[in-house]
């Protein structure tokens, strides 16, 4: 990519040249194409907060035009971005349904989606390994295997939840010298106190979860029925609500049935639905 200072000068010059013409997407892409042609290095475009911004029709049109830019590069040899990076997006298929009319939902606008089969969750053994390292440095006296087992049982290895519970035990729960009723951070009683704290706090993960329930009505209905109807729901990835819930990490396939991904999510969702029913 062009050097930072030179790149800014080029953009400012190109923008100034079209200032009198007004602004729309066509002029913007002409500006960007000119920039790509004048750059002596490959240009990479990074777009942040894609899932959030994809509710804006202008952003969706912008993403559609990017696709046509790639096609022009391949078919007509026109200069375009070397790469486009979409940041803060759960899955490129999440914007597929918004970027095209309903009748084209089955087609990916990018034609680049590949299955990502690496399990990003922590295993019970992985959690135990991290706790051993912590114990070696801090000598808390915790039962590492018991603590790792409790963390995994409540989180199913969800990285944020594991880290957050550990942080709460480390920073928020203070030892109390009160005999058998004492509260010690790295004990079963301290762990359950951390669970109580995480279920009552505001954080970005739970805020995002509740936001998804508001944005995806079928997802909201499916999760509510799953929690309160008490019936087994067959895991079918062709079901849009199940597919969305899996993509967001809210549910998992448990022996062919849909199950809430972990006990923390289950309790938080229960609390949410019960509060909205009052």
Q: Are residues 86 and 12 in the same domain?
A: yes
**Tokens found for residue 180:** 């058998």
Residue 108 has a CB neighbour count (10 Å cut-off) of: 16
**Can you give the pLDDT at residue 62?**
76
Phi, psi of 235 (to 5 degrees): -75, 115
Q: Are residues 57 and 138 in the same domain?
A: no
**Can you give the pLDDT at residue 255?**
93
Rounded Cα distance, 93 and 91, in Å? 5
Rounded Cα distance, 41 and 53, in Å? 29
**Tokens found for residue 153:** 């049982």
**Residue 119 domain-assigned (yes or no):** no
pLDDT in tens, 74-88: 667 667 777 888 776
In terms of DSSP H, where are the helices of the chain? 4-17, 25-38, 50-53, 57-76, 93-99, 124-138, 144-155, 159-171, 188-200, 204-215, 217-228, 240-247, 263-277
- Dihedral-angle region of residue 156 (phi above 0 means left; psi in -120 to 50 means alpha; beta otherwise): left
Most confident of 34-43, 232-241, 259-268: 259-268
Q: Are residues 24 and 80 in the same domain?
A: yes
**Residue 113 domain-assigned (yes or no):** no
Q: Are residues 178 and 259 in the same domain?
A: no
Q: Are residues 8 and 92 in the same domain?
A: yes
Tell me the DSSP string of 231-258. Answer: ---B--TTSHHHHHHHHTTSEEEETTEE
End position of a domain, from candidates 172, 200, 228: 200
**Number of structural domains in the chain:** 3
pLDDT in tens, 132-172: 999 999 999 999 999 999 999 999 999 999 999 999 999 99
End position of a domain, from candidates 200, 221, 255: 200
Q: How many CA atoms, within 13 angstroms, populate the side-chain half-sphere of residue 4? A: 0
**Residue 76 domain-assigned (yes or no):** yes
**Residue 19 domain-assigned (yes or no):** yes
Rounded Cα distance, 83 and 252, in Å? 33
Residue 96 has pLDDT above 70, yes or no: no
Rounded Cα distance, 170 and 190, in Å? 10
Contact 42, 84 (CB under 8 A): no
pLDDT in tens, 267-277: 999 999 999 87
Strands 251-254 and 83-86: what pairing?
Answer: unpaired
**Residue 28 domain-assigned (yes or no):** yes
**Can you give the pLDDT at residue 105?**
44
pLDDT band at 113 (very low <50, low <70, confident <90, very high): very low
For 15, the domain range is 4-104
- Among 106, 162, 119, which residue's Cα sits nearest to residue 252? 119
Rounded Cα distance, 225 and 103, in Å? 28
**Tokens found for residue 244:** 């969305």
End position of a domain, from candidates 148, 172, 200: 200
**Residue 114 domain-assigned (yes or no):** no
**Residue 244 domain-assigned (yes or no):** yes
**Residue 109 domain-assigned (yes or no):** no
Residue 128 has a CB neighbour count (10 Å cut-off) of: 19
Q: Are residues 188 and 217 in the same domain?
A: no
Q: Are residues 15 and 98 in the same domain?
A: yes
Angle at 117 between CA 116 and CA 122, to 5 degrees: 115
């Amino acid at each position: 990519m062009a050097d930072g200072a030179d790149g800014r000068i080029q953009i400012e010059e190109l923008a100034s040249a079209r200032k009198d013409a007004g602004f729309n997407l066509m002029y913007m892409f002409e500006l960007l194409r000119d920039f790509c042609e004048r750059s002596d290095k490959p240009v990479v475009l990074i777009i942040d907060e894609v899932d959030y911004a994809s509710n804006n029709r202008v952003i969706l049109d912008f993403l559609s035009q990017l696709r046509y830019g790639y096609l022009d590069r391949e078919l007509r040899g026109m200069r375009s971005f070397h790469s486009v990076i979409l940041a803060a997006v759960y899955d490129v298929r999440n914007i597929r349904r918004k970027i095209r009319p309903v009748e084209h939902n089955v087609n990916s606008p990018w034609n680049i989606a590949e299955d990502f089969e690496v399990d990003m969750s922590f295993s019970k053994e992985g959690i135990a390994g991290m706790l051993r390292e912590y114990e070696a440095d801090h000598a808390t006296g915790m039962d590492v295997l018991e603590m790792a087992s409790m963390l995994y049982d409540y989180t199913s290895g969800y990285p944020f939840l594991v880290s957050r519970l550990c942080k709460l035990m480390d920073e928020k729960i203070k030892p109390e010298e009160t005999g058998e009723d004492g509260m010690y951070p790295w004990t079963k009683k301290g762990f359950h106190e951390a669970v109580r704290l995480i279920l009552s706090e505001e954080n970005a993960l739970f805020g995002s979860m509740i936001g998804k329930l508001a944005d995806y009505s079928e997802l909201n209905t499916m999760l509510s029925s799953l929690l309160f109807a008490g019936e087994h729901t067959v895991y079918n990835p062709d079901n849009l609500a199940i597919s969305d819930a899996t993509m967001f990490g809210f549910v998992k396939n448990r022996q062919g049935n849909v199950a809430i991904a972990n006990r923390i999510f289950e309790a938080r969702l229960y609390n949410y639905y019960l509060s909205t029913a009052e």
